[in-house]
Each structure stands twice: as C-alpha cells, then as structure tokens.
Structure 1
Amino acid sequence: MAGRQKARRVRRLLPLPRCDGPKLHPFEHQNAPIEWLERLAGDRGSQSGGEGSVFKVRINSRLYALKVFKFFNPLTADNNWDMMVDDSVPLKTVIFHIDPFYAECRAYGRIKQAQGERRLKREVVVPCHGYLFLQERDAQLLREKGVDLDDGVVDNGLLRVNKEDGRVRAIVKDFVPGGAGIDTTRSLRKILRDIRSLNKLGIYVRDIRADNFRAGQLVDFGLSHTEPHCVLDSLDEGMVRHYKVEDLVMFDNMVVEEGLVTNVRAMPNRAYCLKLRSRSR
C-alpha cells in the first residue's frame, strides 16, 4: 500500500519548468534512498559558491552524478538580469528562464527531445535522467556537511510565484569517472561540432570551459539560455547576434587559456585569434 502511494506521488510530478518551451521529466526513482559517496572536486559550488554542488551518489545500486542546486530568487540575485529583461516580462518567466535549475531543465528538455528525434547525437552531453526533489533528511544531511543551499533567499512570495514547496532541487546525470578537461585535437573538433549543434537547437551554453567537459561531453547547463528566452526576446538584434556567437568565442578563449596546440578555431579570423592570445598572457 505504501509503495502504491509513493508511486502516485511520483506520477503527480510534472515536467519542469511550468512555462512554454522545453521541459525536463522527473527522475523515475524520486523517493529512493540516496547514498552520498563524495562531493566531486572542481564543481562550481565548491569553487565559487555559484549555482550548486555536484555529488557522486548511489541510487538503487547505480552510480550517478547528482547536481544539487541552491535556491534562487531573482529579486536578490546579483546577475544583472533586470538590465537585460524587458519590464513587461512576468517575474515567473524570469525565474523559469534564469534560475540555474530551470535553465538546466530547459536545456536538457530540448536536448532529450532532439535526441529522440535523432537530430542530436547522444554523446554530445553527459546523459541526464531527470530532476529530483530531495527528501528533507537528505537536505539536512547536506546542511550538516556545510553545503550552502542558500535557503535564506526563499520567501512566501517566491514560493507563490513558482508554485513549489521549498524542497531542494537536484538533477540526476550519469557519473563519468575521471577528471574534467580536454586535450586532443580530435576531441576539440568534436566539441566544436557539438557546440554548433546545440546552438542550432537554440541552446546557448554560455559556459564553455575545460572544467565543463567529462570525456569530451558537456556536463553543465546552469548558465544556459534556451530559446524561447526572456533575455534574448528583450535584446535588440545586434545584442542577440552577440549572444548567439558567445559559445564560439568562449571555445576559442578556452583553447588559448588551456595552452592547447591546435589549429581548431570556431572564429577563424586571424586578427581575432591574435587578440585572444594577447588576452591570455
């Protein structure tokens, strides 16, 4: 009886976010016990207190990488979104487009749809298995371990807008052993093709850096913009063009900053490449 009740609760979870555009499905083992094995080195949360923290976990005997997100309130966020978004855009839309958790939901939703339609190869990104709401016992365990969930930004107004109940959000992905980074020319060519493929789908990663790759696959979409997006819809045509090549510029910057010896470039203009090299010194 208890098992059927849990199953019904999981079925009531809807794909997120609750707005137009792509959505991510809930993880199928929503209420299964989580064995927390280790916090993965190099995640954004441990380095800069950013969008969240990534853990190696075991759920139902299988290893996963679980990205646990901090809470996000656009009214207290220090990311200048209000300078880019039109005043007429509802706060709910801002949250669903800019909150890193929802940004990943939207990107992976578009990716999974494209993969299902065979418009995107499966090895482009680390596979995602859906979103997960942590049980309170797991959230408390993380707090006791010193993990900052940024609970203080949550207020009744925020909960009313996004229609959630304050549970800690996470996204479940494949666990990829080994460290982050890229090295070979072959992987660079593949990565550049993958970035272009994502951009054609209306996904702009906005976070192309060596630490964002595992085994040549992108793993983090917390800063991504996926069309339709309130920022892109609010900018003038020139700024939109800038946004749509930002991933390619960041790819070239990454090549220079990592000291990779290669002629692989996204933006082949020689003067531009020389400018990048001068910045990296």
Structure 2
Amino acid sequence: MEEKAYFEPFSCECRAYGRILEEGLEQYVAQCYGYIKLAPSDFEPLLNDPERLKRHFGYRKRHEGRPFRALVKEFVKADRDLYPPLPNRSRSNVRIWNTVFRNTKDSRQLIRGLKRIQKSGILVRDINGGNVMNGRLIDFSLAWTVPHPILVKEKMENDKIVDIYGGGFSDASQVDSLIDNWNEEHDPGLRIWDRCLPDPDYCADKIRFRRDRLRGKFGTKWRWGRKTCGWYIRPGLYKWKAEDGPGGQTER
C-alpha cells in the first residue's frame, strides 16, 4: 500500500470502519452498509457541473482521473427544532447544535465512543458540528488507523507534536468544544457537564496543572477516571499484529 493511500479520504473511511466492525463499536457511529463506485458513463455527466461536484462531493481538479467512490451509510435523523433558541440568540446556531446532541446521554455516548475508538487504534482528527449527529460519529475521512505511517511509536516518542495528536488530545479537545458550543446556545437547565478533559477554567490556577504543563505532560500523562480525569489513550500503541483476536488486543 502506497503511503499516500493512507491519507486518501475513501481509504481513511474504509480502514476506520473496518476496525470499528472488528471491535464491535457500531453503536457509536453511523452504520456503514458498503460502498458504491460510479462507472465512467455515470460519472461523466457530473463533470459538466464542476461547482456542484466541488460543493456537494468535495471533488476538485487534483481528483481528476480517480474513480468516483463513496461509502453508503445509515441516515441519522436529527431534530433541528428540538429546543428553541435563547432570547437574543441566533435560531440558525441552535438548530445546528440540536443535531449534535439531544441530551446528556448523547454527549456521554460520544465521549465513551471516542475513548473506545481511540483505544482500537483510530485517531479521528476531524470532530466538528457537521461530523457528529445524536452523539454518534458520522465521518472518518481524515482518520488515521493503525497501522499508519504517522502513528509509529518511535516517531511519536521523538516528536512532541505527533505525540500530542497520537495521545488523542486533539480529538478530546474537539469533543469538549462541541459541548462548550452546546452550552452557549442552550438554556442553563440543559447544560452538559461531562467533558473529555479537565475544565481549563477550573484547572488554570492549580499548581499541579501548571507544573505538568511545564514538564510536557499536558494531554499525554493524565489518567482516565473520576478522581483523576484526563486523557491517556494513545492509538499508536494499539497492538494490531497480536494473534489473540481480530485486529489485535488493546491495552485496557
């Protein structure tokens, strides 16, 4: 497999869903039923409308000559009008965030699902309001799945930037951003208190928090749990070569 194929969106999604099926994590994502590939005769008429291709399908000039493929996924129905907007707040904003979560149960499902997906060797890398619906991940077009040329243990240990991303800190931060946006747009009675990472507003003045940041432990050395909540998951350490189960055995 050529290295560039590890970064092609269709390949990223196929590899991520393959691992998700192996690990039995379908409840945390939009179901995938397979893929479609258009024949040249079906695709050629679309080339006459390049703006539509770019806007709806992400097709650009650099994709010329490549087959037109897409995954077939479950239609996740979300209620944009589930909650009314707050006074003096944009109705369009609250309608967007209503599709991300319906309640606290959805936010907890997303946090739990991300934890399990990362421990199965997948780094999502693109968690935003358009890629999460009803607390489930629906897009893996930028995901890195072990084995991957970037998620190599030796490289992660020698590169602090890669180590942070390999530790899942970026994914966790993006989930917390979704929760923060939800709280800003909804009534305080609907507030979501769950988080992936310690609340920076609470931790900023803590001596230990500042000391750990100076030592480079921010996001990679914390432990998961009620008393010492944090993010220690490192997808790059997933043992995909192990023989005791499909996809290998994770460190749990």
* TM-score normalised by structure 1 residue count: 0.54
1:200-219 matches, cutoff 5 A:
200-219=119-138
Q: Share of identical aligned residues, percent?
A: 31
1:229 and 1:250 mapped to 2: Cα distance? 22
SS class of match (2:71): strand
What is the aligned partner in structure 1 of residue 150 from structure 2?
A: 231
Determine which of 142, 151, 154 is the counterpart of 2:46: 142
Moved more, 142-151 or 172-181: 142-151
2:77 and 2:180 mapped to 1: Cα distance? 26
Determine which of 194, 210, 233 is the counterpart of 1:264: 194
Q: What per-residue deviation string (whole Å, max 9, x for no partner) do you get for residues 58-113 of structure 1?
A: xxxxxxxxxxxxxxxxxxxxxxxxxxxxxxxxxx21x2211111111110111111
User: What is the CA distance between 1:269 and its match in structure 2?
Assistant: 4.5
2:72 and 2:140 mapped to 1: Cα distance? 13
Q: What per-residue deviation string (whole Å, max 9, x for no partner) do you get for residues 183-212 of structure 1?
A: 311111111000101010011111122221
SS class of match (1:267): coil
Q: What per-residue deviation string (whole Å, max 9, x for no partner) do you get for residues 7-41 of structure 1?
A: xxxxxxxxxxxx3xxxxxxxxxxxxxxxxxxxxxx
Distance 1:255 1:112, change over 3 A: same
Distance 1:207 1:166, change over 3 A: closer
**In the alignment, is residue 181 of structure 1 matched against residue 100 of structure 2?**
yes
2:63 and 2:198 mapped to 1: Cα distance? 46
2:32 and 2:130 mapped to 1: Cα distance? 18
Q: CA RMSD in A?
A: 2.6
1:272 and 1:241 mapped to 2: Cα distance? 25
1:274 and 1:256 mapped to 2: Cα distance? 17
Q: What per-residue deviation string (whole Å, max 9, x for no partner) do you get for residues 97-140 of structure 1?
A: 1111111111011111112xxxx3x3111111223211223323
2:29 and 2:204 mapped to 1: Cα distance? 30
SS class of match (1:129): strand
Determine which of 243, 249, 252 is the counterpart of 2:173: 249
Distance 1:177 1:271, change over 3 A: closer
The gaps in structure 1 that reach 5 residues or longer are 1-18, 20-91, 156-164, 276-281
Determine which of 64, 84, 101 is the counterpart of 2:10: 101
User: What is the CA distance between 1:273 and its match in structure 2?
Assistant: 7.0
What is the aligned partner in structure 1 of residue 33 from structure 2?
A: 129
Report if the CA contact (8 A) 2:16-2:140 is conserved: yes
Report if the CA contact (8 A) 2:53-2:59 is conserved: no
1:232 and 1:250 mapped to 2: Cα distance? 19
The amino acid that maps onto 1:112 is L
Moved more, 206-215 or 263-272: 263-272
1:142 and 1:110 mapped to 2: Cα distance? 32
The amino acid that maps onto 1:266 is C
1:1-281 matches, cutoff 5 A:
19=1, 92-93=2-3, 95-115=4-24, 120=25, 122-145=26-49, 146-148=52-54, 150=59, 152-154=61-63, 166-178=66-78, 180-233=99-152, 234-235=155-156, 236=158, 238-243=160-165, 244-258=168-182, 259=184, 261-271=191-201
Bigger fraction of residues in strand: 1
Distance 1:270 1:112, change over 3 A: same
1:222 and 1:168 mapped to 2: Cα distance? 15
